[in-house]
Amino acid sequence: MNPRLLPLLALSTFACTGETDPAEVQVFSACEGREFTVTEPKEGSPWTPNAVTLVSEQLAEGVFAVYDSNAATHEPAGLALATSGGFVIGDDGVLLVETMINRQLLCQVYELVRAQTDKPVLYAINTSYHGDHSYGNTFLPESVQVVQHERTAAFVATHFAEDVAFMESNFGADQGIDEAELITPDIEVDDLGWSIDLGGVTVEAQYRGFAQTDGDLFVTVPEAGVLWAGNPLIAAEPAIPWLLDGHAHDVSETLAAVQASLPAGTIVVPGHGRPATPSAFSFSVDYLNTMIAEVQTSVDAGATLEETQAAVLMEDYQGYALWDWVHTWVNVPAAHAELSE
């Protein structure tokens, strides 16, 4: 049975003081009464979902980032981290940014929210179709409205099984990914964006162009000066963009435009790292522009893909633990194909 169809609400009982009426308290049935074990990291995985402990950090009144507890040491060293997200609390309820890769991490987010408020979770935004940002949709109460870009929704509807297989091949079949089910979003966002007033605080989901996928949403709380960038900004230096869907030029232009639009004091939450400043975009943009230029030189010289991979080493940008896979086997081939057309 889809966990979203389990009982959604339980009545809380209050002392009859005349000050508080009985109220409905939201229950995440997929999390209630469950005990989760934090395991040791697995060798060969970018990061191990069930080995992750998430923490929250308050960025502004009612605005929290959620990220991997190892971020302070792992991010500067270029080590891969779990998905980052967050939540926003308004007078009426809560909005989640990302629902994580599995039940265990979604339930950690739930506990972090409950440590701050008993208000119901009303919305959950997925910044892209990637499973580590969205599989937790499976375990949300049905009262929570899932928000995705319309092209993300269309992609998930036709590629869900393929994406699950990809995620299991990278993270393992023992990480609870098999529990994920295809969830149709309640709200589909077009290129004009979407906003919601949670009661005293407005959250906006903006489409700024092709940034890693064709449906990336940048989530912002304008009054608080906070932006969730999702995977277009993986993390601060030395992390680099992942061109899994290609479009090297488009990604570079979008990231540069987003960075240029941000006031200097903006707090930026990357897709897999700690809160940062807008300057965190610079390394990714510089990397992309340099990579594009060097691949273009190889293409103009008639070099094959293999010759281009051997030539475009970019030693000044190395330092990311996943460099060989992401740069050599994802990004350079994507740019070579694009520039050879």
**Residue 14 clears pLDDT 80, i.e. is over it:** no
Answer for the pair 42, 172: CB distance below 8 angstroms, yes or no. Answer: yes
pLDDT of the residue at 6: 43
pLDDT tens for 114-164 read: 999 999 999 999 999 999 999 999 999 999 999 999 999 999 999 999 999
Torsion, Cα of 155, 157, 162, 168 (10° steps): 100
Is the pLDDT assigned to residue 22 strictly greater than 60? no
The answer to whether residue 312 scores a pLDDT higher than 80 is yes
- Mean pLDDT (the chain, rounded): 94
Handedness of CA 70, 65, 132, 30 (dihedral sign): positive
Paired with 230 in beta bridges are 270
Strands (E), 161-256: 187-189, 194-197, 202-206, 218-221, 226-230
Using pLDDT thresholds of 50, 70 and 90, give the confidence band for residue 25: confident
What does the pLDDT average to over 300-312? 99
* pLDDT level of residue 24 (50, 70, 90 thresholds): low
What pLDDT is recorded for position 162?
97
Percentage of the chain lying above the pLDDT 70 cut? 93
Confidence of residue 67 (pLDDT cuts 50, 70, 90): very high
Task: Using alpha carbons only, give the angle 181, 66, 34 rounded to the nearest 5 degrees.
Answer: 50
User: Of 62, 133, 126, nearest to 93 (Cα)?
Assistant: 62
Residues listed for the chain: 341
Task: Lay out the sheet containing 187-189: strands in order across.
Answer: 54-60, 63-68, 85-89, 94-97, 121-125, 145-149, 187-189
Query: What are the Cα distances from residue 337, in Å, to 1, 109, 134, 162, 308?
Result: 43, 39, 29, 23, 11
Distance CA 174, CA 122 (A): 30
List, for residues 252-281, the tens digit of each pLDDT value: 999 999 999 999 999 999 999 999 999 999
What single-letter amino acid sits at 154? A
How far from chain centre, in Å, is Cα 338? 26
What contacts 300, CB < 8 A, 6 or more positions away? none
Structural class in CATH, domain 3-280: alpha beta
For 40-50, what is the mean pLDDT? 95
pLDDT of 7 above 70: no
- Name the band, by pLDDT with cuts 50, 70 and 90, for residue 9: very low
Q: What is the pLDDT of residues 164-205, one digit of tens each?
A: 999 999 999 999 999 999 999 999 999 999 999 999 999 999
CA angle, 48 then 51 then 56, to 5°: 105
> Contact, 127 vs 203, CB < 8 A?
no
User: How far is the C-alpha of 48 from the C-alpha of 39, rounded, in Å?
Assistant: 8
3 has a pLDDT exceeding 80: no
The per-residue pLDDT for range 77-124, each reduced to its tens digit, is 999 999 999 999 999 999 999 999 999 999 999 999 999 999 999 999
The verdict on whether omega for the bond into residue 46 sits within 30 degrees of 0, i.e. cis, is no
Whether 5 shows a pLDDT value over 50: the answer reads no
- What does the domain layout of the chain look like in residue ranges? 3-280
Mean pLDDT of 288-315: 99
How confident is the model at residue 17, as a pLDDT? 31
Q: How far is CA 275 from CA 47, 118, 225, in A?
A: 19, 25, 12
In this model, does residue 247 exceed pLDDT 80?
A: yes
Closest CA to 200 of 145, 119, 278: 119
φ/ψ (deg, to 5) at 247: 65, 50
3 state DSSP class of 79: coil
Tokens 């395991």 sit at which residue?
Answer: 39
The pLDDT value recorded for residue 214 is 97
Q: And the tokens for 144?
A: 């929570």
